[in-house]
Structure 1
Amino acid sequence: MHVAAAEQNDLAARVWQRDATLWKTEPAHIAEISNRLGWLTVAQTMRAQIAALRAFAAEIKRAGFKSAVLCGMGGSSLGVEVLRDVIGSARGYPQLFVLDSTDPATIRALARKITPKKTLFIIASKSGGTTETLSHYKYFATRAPAQNFIAITDAGSGLHQLALEKKFRRVFENPSDIGGRFSALSYFGLVPAALMGIDLTKLLDRAEAMARACGADIPAEENPGEWLGVALATLAQHGRDKITFVTPRALASFGAWAEQLIAESSGKEGKGIVPVDGEPLGKSGIYGADRVFVHLQLGKTRGAKIERALTALEKIGHPILRVPLRDPYDLGAEFFRWEFATAVACALLGVNAFDQPNVEEAKVNARKMLTDDRRPLTADQLIWENSQFAVYATEKIAAKNLRDALRAFCAPARPGDYLALMAYLPNTPLNRAALKVMRVAARDALQIATTVGFGPRFLHSTGQLHKGGANNVLALQITAENARDAAIPGEAYTFGDLIHAQAAGDWQALADRGRRALRVHLKRGATLRALAAEMKRALRDA
């Protein structure tokens, strides 16, 4: 469907009319969708809360809090991460940390960076039952008093009840008609933003201006959200389903937010748009016909190297979508634009943008692992090991060494496939650098798109796409021994147990869905850098 056809079908008008049948006609879907469209007017709704949020931020400053830790997963943290990285804390306001991992080393490293009694802990979960977030609370609740905790959740949730029972300093009840990945402009984004001293009025002004620009009466070719959504869906339907974000360093975290929004909204029923975030630009000849590039620009800064690369790609037929931001506060506008575009794209693809039907599969498997005597799940087939690495696959692979296994796993890659690197490891500069080596090697040798996710964070983002989208993913899972574990007070399992169960649970879900998957386990003393070197050699020699 092109722009003219979109206009003829009143796409934007039907979104604003909250017409659930735009996405699905089944009663169960309609009921769910009807309760997930509050994001359309949330900027307007939250404007009335600005004064109260400013007053709360002033109270926290007066109380002497030096830092704040946001404990949340997926939509409860990714938008905040963008605001922190792009705008940041104003002078005199607490430094904000985001915790969205169950990796023991990550949790202990954060605990060393803060003084718990001078730290405000923001426990954020729409459902109020997010395992990771509640585990974070249990860990820090033994280190700081109840007045150091606030909650952001839906009214009546388990977290809401816990916060009242434990006498948290404050509970922010978020509008229940907003799903997690559409919540950046709700309390989930604005409470941490206020605590950082961000100008909420300016942020919401930009969001409301974009909402008006995406209005029901705006022609599709002039409607930035509708036009973008139609473009993404149309390109995906013509095989260009890998939306590749090209961002300046200052906007890098926006790609991770958009990745969750697009992947979790569209990746179901064997369909989906695959967001490619953080993949370095390469030579134009290595890209397949499944790519579309989105270039985010901030202010007047123009990277000459990036511009040359994009011009070369454009010349050989790759679509380039350019999205300029005047300044960091245009994030308010872009949050809304991409939410609107994603809703439109999903309508055109024929999927419900507001559910995540396959996310629960991995969670159920993880719970079984934790409660059923830690028994391993059935998908693991050990195909090779030595003193440093153990390699498992969902299907039998003949391999004499690690390099053989990696080569055999990657060899069947076809045009239109993508490699998903799923690392249940600390999100550190060293690990990010090693994963970059791996994805560049795969992209160049196989000429396929690559994605990277740190577990369990990505389970709340691209995890839905991996299991619910098209079966065109090569899933390379990486797990490791924990040098030191961390206890979860009140639980029979540790953070180390939890992250291993989450990895195993997703592995089983991938196997159940018939996905091509390989797991490399790093034994004590093995490094991701060594694995990256082996993969580079394996693909170079292929």
Structure 2
Amino acid sequence: GDELFRQFGFTPEAVTQRVLAALAFRRPTPLAAVGGFAADAAAEAAREQLQREALPRLLARDCRLWGEAHAATVAQRLGWLDLPARSRHELPQLAGLVNRWAAGGLNTLVLLGMGGSSLAPQVLREMGGSPSGRELLLLDTTDPVRVNGALESLDPAKTAVLSVSKSGTTVETASLLEIFWDRWTKSGLPQPGAHFAALTEPQTPLAQLARERQFAAVLPHPVDVGGRFSALSAVGLLPALWLGLPTEELLQQAANTLAPHTHHPALELAAALAAASRDGWGRLVLWPEARFRPFALWLEQLVAESTGKDGKGLLPVAPPSPVGLDQLPATLHLGLGTAQPPFPGLAWPVDAHRLGEAFAFWELTTALSGYLLGVNPFDEPNVGEAKRQARAALSQGVPELSPTPQAEQRLAGFLEACSREEAVVFCAYLPETPEVARALDELTASWQEKLQTTVSWTFGPRYLHSTGQLHKGGPKKLFCVVLTAPNPSDLPIPGQPHSLGQLRLAQALGDVAALSACGQRVLHLHLPEGSRELVFQLKP
């Protein structure tokens, strides 16, 4: 009787506890206010508007939610809403490819991709680890130093290569693919194509090339999902399967998050971001616990590229320290994971094992933030200008640059006018080494302390597929500093008249021209060899 039920855990208390636990699993992780933060009347009104009007229309895939002018574009970009269910059907095919490669003795997967094609896999690798014991190497660069280092460390006989490009024309990915294909075909492999796969939309140049070269697989990128919203497609799932992560669990977490919920925390966060912004300009200052740092990079691209247009935008920044950032205007502070912001703000204590929820939560938050800002979060209208300028630089012949004279004084004079309502971004086309990264960390921390505003850095050309859209399409609130230097080494690109290093310099020069053309403040400093030491000299 009652005693037997008790022994088997069927007491009313135990059953209630299990039901509450199951409900908690299905509900998105709530936000927590920190340091006396409270939503003001504007934020509360925005949240109610989202609950009443925007969220139901979004979940119903109403492409007119962001305005009639954008309806046609948006209609082709809402596939992420049901992607968890659709992606389940692709898991057997993806697992089959992973199993074939593993059975053939391959233990390393190199992923070639830019922006959303590589940032979500990076999150999965660095936060999820590799229960399978296999390696995942991500290359999202045209830096010859980093690419050379990867080539020297890899054994083609034990390495698979995945080329990811939604359009099939991404210049960085195409260049890297030619370099790897050339190296693998010259390594003596009897069937080099069996070590390669492509992930792209149907009928793209990449898909055609993959079939001609008899790649192991040509995987479809969903045509109704933009790259930065593709984490829960094969873009994220194939690397997850390679690493041995629980893909079914990832998809279920995401599906739960995208289901209708009363008082969804994504509405609260979108409303808080809109309320914190001024005239369409705002900063999301992120304070992640250590293991959430790669997630902050993925989030940076999603939010900046989605909102940074039409003279508006939200700039995510993960600062090195809180020095100088108290009471910043147009700013919302947010803690990620177990971390809490050092100033009044919000904390989102999501568990690091709930990455499916994390991806879906931020996709939903970003789409709703775009609605409140009055921008289309699914296009990137200003990205093409930097590409056009880079192609022009290549066609004219990339010049040999001389070091910028008095670089320290020029930088100090350029940043002198920066106010606390504005932000500084260092765009570094320098060797992507840990030593240079540490020097850039110190550089940004010192200028943040001096200017009392957000100062960040990023390697180029990675940022062109991340915050680059906001740099050119967002508010004129940025001071952009582009750093270049001679390449210590270089690599030819098979079939191209230019080298990888020349392509990278052309991308830097193209972005300087694009930033100038759009009216953003930009300073280009070309440093001599020995970038690490010279970066230190740029400190105030």
For structure 1, the 5+ residue unaligned runs are: 315-319, 377-381, 392-400
| CA offset digits 1:153-197 (Å, max 9, x no partner) | 111111111111111000111210000000000011111111111
Query: Corresponding residue for 2:138?
Result: 98
2:427 aligned residue (405, 422, 434): 422
Query: Corresponding residue for 1:394?
Result: none
1:119 aligned residue (142, 151, 159): 159
Query: Corresponding residue for 1:317?
Result: none
Secondary structure in 2 matching 1:476: strand
Relative to the length of structure 2, the TM-score reads: 0.87
Query: Corresponding residue for 2:360?
Result: 336
Secondary structure in 1 matching 2:329: coil
Deviation at 1:47, TM superposition (A): 1.3
Deviation at 1:290, TM superposition (A): 2.9
Note the 1:116-515 alignment, pairs <5 A.
Answer: 116-144=156-184, 145-212=192-259, 215=260, 218-219=261-262, 222-237=263-278, 241-277=282-318, 279-283=319-323, 286=326, 288-297=328-337, 302=338, 307=340, 310-311=341-342, 313-314=343-344, 320-328=345-353, 330-374=354-398, 389-390=403-404, 401-515=406-520
Deviation at 1:127, TM superposition (A): 0.3
Q: 1:497 to 1:269 in 2, by over 3 A?
A: same
Secondary structure in 2 matching 1:91: coil
Secondary structure in 1 matching 2:160: strand
Query: Corresponding residue for 1:535?
Result: 538
Partner amino acid for 1:421? F
Tell me whether 240-249 or 481-490 shows the greater mean CA deviation: 240-249
Aligned Cα root-mean-square deviation (Å): 1.8
Deviation at 1:331, TM superposition (A): 0.9
Deviation at 1:24, TM superposition (A): 2.2
Deviation at 1:504, TM superposition (A): 0.5
Instruction: Could you list the structure 1 runs, at least 4 aligned residues long, displaced by more than 3 angstroms after superposition.
Output: 1-5, 237-240, 283-287, 373-376
Partner amino acid for 1:509? A
Secondary structure in 2 matching 1:244: strand
The count of aligned residue pairs is 490
Query: Corresponding residue for 2:28?
Result: none
1:19 aligned residue (47, 62, 67): 62
CA contact (8 A) 2:425 2:479 kept: yes
Query: In structure 2, how many angstroms separate the alpha carbons of the residues matched to 1:169 and 1:56?
Result: 8
Deviation at 1:285, TM superposition (A): 6.2
1:88 aligns with 2:129: yes
CA contact (8 A) 1:57 1:197 kept: no
Query: In structure 1, how many angstroms separate the alpha carbons of the residues matched to 2:250 and 2:117?
Result: 18
Partner amino acid for 1:510? L
Partner amino acid for 1:202? E
Deviation at 1:286, TM superposition (A): 4.8
CA contact (8 A) 1:287 1:448 kept: no
Q: 1:405 to 1:188 in 2, by over 3 A?
A: same
Secondary structure in 2 matching 1:243: strand
Partner amino acid for 1:15? L
Deviation at 1:9, TM superposition (A): 4.6
Query: In structure 1, how many angstroms separate the alpha carbons of the residues matched to 2:321 and 2:381?
Result: 33
Secondary structure in 2 matching 1:357: coil
Q: 1:91 to 1:189 in 2, by over 3 A?
A: closer
Partner amino acid for 1:366? A
Deviation at 1:375, TM superposition (A): 6.0
Percent of residue pairs bearing the same amino acid type: 36
Partner amino acid for 1:481? P
| CA offset digits 1:491-520 (Å, max 9, x no partner) | 110001100000000000011112221112
Query: In structure 2, how many angstroms separate the alpha carbons of the residues matched to 1:356 and 1:239?
Result: 17
Query: In structure 2, how many angstroms separate the alpha carbons of the residues matched to 1:505 and 1:233?
Result: 32
Secondary structure in 2 matching 1:321: strand
| CA offset digits 1:16-45 (Å, max 9, x no partner) | 12112211211xx21111000000110111
CA contact (8 A) 2:428 2:458 kept: yes
1:43 aligns with 2:57: no
Secondary structure in 2 matching 1:176: coil
Tell me whether 173-182 or 424-433 shows the greater mean CA deviation: 424-433
